[in-house]
């Protein structure tokens, strides 16, 4: 059986991967190679902020 935390983790990982795929497409290969680290850090930090806000509002 899958726990609620595992479901949430999977959902957030999927959202992060979708956003990174969108960013890769926008940036193009050369620009992505140069900027992928900070973009990835920003996407992950944004996901953490979103989860924190959702939890504070009782939505998680």
Q: How do residues 5-27 score in pLDDT, each as one tens digit?
A: 899 899 999 999 999 999 999 99
Task: Return the pLDDT at 60.
Answer: 79
Task: Return the pLDDT at 5.
Answer: 85
- 8 A C-beta contact, residue 30 and residue 10: no
Q: Please give the model's pTM, rounded to 2 decimal places.
A: 0.83
The residue with tokens 């953490």 is: 48
Average pLDDT over residues 21-46: 96
Task: Return the pLDDT at 31.
Answer: 96
The residue with tokens 């979708």 is: 18
Task: Return the pLDDT at 50.
Answer: 93
């Amino acid at each position: 059986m899958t726990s609620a935390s595992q479901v949430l983790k999977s959902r957030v990982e999927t959202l992060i991967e979708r956003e990174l795929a969108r960013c890769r497409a926008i940036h193009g290969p050369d620009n992505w190679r140069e900027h992928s680290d900070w973009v990835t850090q920003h996407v992950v930090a944004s996901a953490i902020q979103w989860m924190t806000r959702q939890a504070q509002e009782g939505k998680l």
